[in-house]
Chain A
Amino acid sequence: MQELSVLIVDDEAPARVRLRELLGDLADEQPTRVVGEAGDGLAALDLLERAPADVALVDIRMPKMDGVELAQHLARLPRPPALIFTTAYDVYAVRAFELHAVDYLLKPVRAARLAAALARAKALRPPPAEALQALRPEGRSHLSCHERGRLLLVPIDEVLYLRADLKYVTARTREREYLLDESLTQLEQEFAQRFIRLHRSVLAAKEAIIGFARDGAEDADAHWLALLRDVPEQLPVSRRQWPVVKSYARQLST
């Protein structure tokens, strides 16, 4: 039987030890090789980039980046591992997994269940995006993008604005720009709390807006410009969005 490479992702060391032990017990039935252990989603992505795995056993509740968000980013890897969630007790997640036929294991994990999950792993499809987003209604903590074959993670609270160009969306942080392959509409929905739409093609982080200036040139579409902290760019506010933005700005000043 073909050996499977496995990545174990769990924030609790004893839980990782337990999975390792179980995988060892199953070696005759299903040979496996643990290629790494990670304590959170960020560390897992880092490991997977250097050492791709066939299967990732992923805990849901973890600090820094939880298992559900990790799954959202995994899809962007060139060779994503088959994903099996593990959880001690999470009614909502389990219901969502049942609904979308996502494989999961309940902790304490039984060897027989783990063997069955590994046997199916090859055929597993990645969990559907909408199921994952329903489990994390507050939005991801990072955006991910590809750059020269590398997966880059941009913390969402460093993004000052998002701007849609012809094909891509650009995320601007204090230091630089990143190209994302996601749609601005989706991003607007996911991060409605954090960003406000200034223009058909621009979302700005609410907390980054420091003021507004009148646009000198009498353009048909852009009357006002939003000023952001840390970057020299001034972003146009469309006539249609101005009332919304203005009322938000008023909340700010009071």
Chain B
Amino acid sequence: MASIRQNPVGRRLPDFRNLGVMLRLLLGVNLLALAAALVQATQLAAWPARYVEFAAWVEPLLLAGLLLLAALRDLLWRLPYRVAAAAVLVLVALLAALLQDFWRFMGFADGGWAAIARAALLAMGCAGVMLAYFRLRADALSPAVAEARLQALTARIRPHFLFNSLNAVLSLIRAEPRRAERALEELADLFRASMRDHRDLVPLADEIALCRQYLDLEKLRLGDRLQVEWTIDDLPGELRVPPLLLQPLLENAVYHGVEPAAAPAAIRIRFARRGDELSIELSNPVGAGGVPGAGNRMALANIRERLALYYDLEARLEAREENGSYVVHMVLPCRN
């Protein structure tokens, strides 16, 4: 799915460093091996044994291939698609030939040109099938389709928030015109952000600034009832995240956690970087109305789908209730 970000036109090989792509390759090649074993086995009972025999040959090659492609990803991306695809096939064939010769050297397999050529052709066939699969998949999730889905999914700001905020600004105009001006400017920024092009990742610092503006506006109408605690452990601001990822979650926290609460309630937001992952945790007290309902689940499902479009299987989102708090935990791969 990398294509929706960096290269909306023209095709490209899949991102071989993406966990989802790797999993699909592992699964796909093993399914092919399973099918081949069924063809070769004369009896159904012999099928598993055949597959195990194949696996001993397939898995080392598969893993070596994955490593090689992951290492060469950036280089391959620079080539035109056809050339890159041909390069992948040649590389895989070479790898298979080398491995076959290695097995011969170890005494596990027959040598000879015929055996090596057969291994190379089989490996190339598998690689070709997988490349075709990825190409079909990329077409199905073509930039246009994915873009339209992203546009539709990117959370719109709740009307509840818009009208209440406008009402709050109206109340300020006579007594505090300057504050009213500032509030309208913030509202404009927020709407500009929500109408922007959603294909591009934005710097985390921008997303945090946007969230602060949003919370300022909420503070305008909720006053001291809304408390916010940010914990940001040395986070490089240039890290990039999908736009409007956090704001809808904050909006949920305000709507379900703060507005119905009898006492002032605190929303806690924590960012931490663990190796290659960015972890974002957001918690709010569970309101008197109990666990947030359908609207909240929809917002979560929405963000989950957007994460899948951006990061495939590499990002995750969990929500749970613990000790009277509602906690949303999100983990993203770090991208600059």
B162, B166, B168, B260 pick with most chain A CB within 10 angstroms: B168
Measured between beta carbons, the chain B residues less than 8 angstroms from A108 are 163, 166-167, 170
- Closest residue of chain B to A42, judged by CB? B262
Q: Does B320 contact A (CB under 8 A)?
A: no
Q: Closest CB of chain A to B298's CB: distance in Å?
A: 15
Q: Does B288 contact A (CB under 8 A)?
A: yes
Measured between beta carbons, the chain A residues less than 8 angstroms from B172 are 14
Q: Closest CB of chain A to B213's CB: distance in Å?
A: 17
Q: Are A11 and B259 in contact (CB under 8 A)?
A: yes
Q: Does B227 contact A (CB under 8 A)?
A: no
| Majority secondary structure, A binding face | loop
Q: Are B174 and A21 in contact (CB under 8 A)?
A: yes
- Contact among B160, B171, B261, B288 for A89, CB-based, below 8 A: B160
Q: Closest CB of chain A to B175's CB: distance in Å?
A: 7
- Closest residue of chain B to A21, judged by CB? B174
Q: Does A64 contact B (CB under 8 A)?
A: yes
Q: Are A64 and B262 in contact (CB under 8 A)?
A: yes
Report the interface size for chain A: residues with CB under 8 A from the other chain. Answer: 20
Q: Are B163 and A88 in contact (CB under 8 A)?
A: yes
> Please, how many angstroms separate the alpha-carbon atoms of A21 and B176 in the complex?
14
- Taken residue by residue from 138 to 165, chain B's Cβ proximity to chain A (1 for < 8 Å, 0 otherwise) reads as 0000000000000000000011101110
Measured between beta carbons, the chain A residues less than 8 angstroms from B259 are 11, 61, 63
Measured between beta carbons, the chain A residues less than 8 angstroms from B221 are 12-15
- Taken residue by residue from 92 to 109, chain B's Cβ proximity to chain A (1 for < 8 Å, 0 otherwise) reads as 000000000000000000
Q: Closest CB of chain B to A137's CB: distance in Å?
A: 12
Q: Closest CB of chain A to B299's CB: distance in Å?
A: 16
Report the interface size for chain B: residues with CB under 8 A from the other chain. Answer: 24
Q: Are B160 and A18 in contact (CB under 8 A)?
A: no
Q: Are A18 and B260 in contact (CB under 8 A)?
A: no
Q: Closest CB of chain A to B215's CB: distance in Å?
A: 15
Residues of A35-80 contacting chain B, CB below 8 A: 40, 61, 63-64
> Please, how many angstroms separate the alpha-carbon atoms of A15 and B169 in the complex?
9
Q: Does B220 contact A (CB under 8 A)?
A: yes
- Contact among B158, B171, B220, B223 for A18, CB-based, below 8 A: B171
Q: Are A88 and B164 in contact (CB under 8 A)?
A: yes
Measured between beta carbons, the chain A residues less than 8 angstroms from B260 are 61, 63
Measured between beta carbons, the chain B residues less than 8 angstroms from A229 are none
Q: Are A63 and B261 in contact (CB under 8 A)?
A: yes
Q: Are A13 and B262 in contact (CB under 8 A)?
A: no
Hey, which bits of chain A sit against chain B, CB under 8 A? Answer: 11-15, 17-18, 21, 40, 61, 63-64, 88-90, 106-109, 141
Hey, which bits of chain B sit against chain A, CB under 8 A? Answer: 158-160, 162-164, 166-168, 170-172, 174-175, 220-223, 225, 259-262, 288
The 8 closest A-B pairs by CB, nearest first: A18-B171, A88-B163, A14-B171, A14-B168, A17-B171, A108-B167, A89-B159, A88-B164
